[in-house]
Amino acid sequence: MTISTIKTEDAGPKAVSRSVQVSAPIATLFDLIADPHRHPEIDGSGTVRDVEVKGPHRLSAGDKFTVGMTQYGLPYKITSKATTVEENKVVEWEHPLGHRWRWELAEVGPGATKVTETFDYSTAKVPFVIDLLGMQKKNADGIESTLLALASKFDVH
């Protein structure tokens, strides 16, 4: 069993970004990330509920999908819109309040992929609320847990 190392990435002043190297082919990871129905498999934040997802099993730019979420103990559903989808490279979606979640993939060797997840609130409609609630730290912790869950899913034991 290998221990995955999470790295902090600079994505700008209104973004939180982390990366990890995963022992899996880039196409396998893209298939997982581009399917919102599979997001509960890797969510480490505890916010994505394992309930029925509405939307496609393979995102394309412009697609909308609805997932069950929980924040501060309150369950709700949210509909996001895929803004950028580039095969085996990028999957990004926008929350109704304007912030974006972005996944970037880069092959770093045979069967090894660098995966970067970013919470970007530079486009948020109310960025001061994100600052006020300290969501940068909460989301950084969630991203790190998610990336560790993703890496461990493909870890060779």
Work out the widest C-alpha separation in the chain, in whole angstroms.
44
Residues 99-140 have pLDDT tens digits of 999 999 999 999 999 999 999 999 999 999 999 988 999 999
In a domain, 72, yes or no: yes
Domain count, the chain: 1
Residues 10-62 have pLDDT tens digits of 999 999 999 999 999 999 999 999 999 998 888 888 778 767 889 999 999 99
The model carries a pTM of 0.92
Distance, in Å, from the CA atom of 67 to the CA atom of 91, rounded to the nearest integer, reads 16
Q: Which residues constitute the domain of residue 84?
A: 7-154
In a domain, 87, yes or no: yes
In a domain, 107, yes or no: yes
In a domain, 122, yes or no: yes
| CATH code: domain of residue 147 | 3.30.530.20
In a domain, 78, yes or no: yes
Distance, in Å, from the CA atom of 118 to the CA atom of 7, rounded to the nearest integer, reads 12
Residues 79-88 have pLDDT tens digits of 999 999 999 9
In a domain, 2, yes or no: no
Per-residue pLDDT at 157 exceeds 60? no
Distance, in Å, from the CA atom of 153 to the CA atom of 130, rounded to the nearest integer, reads 30
In a domain, 95, yes or no: yes
In a domain, 1, yes or no: no
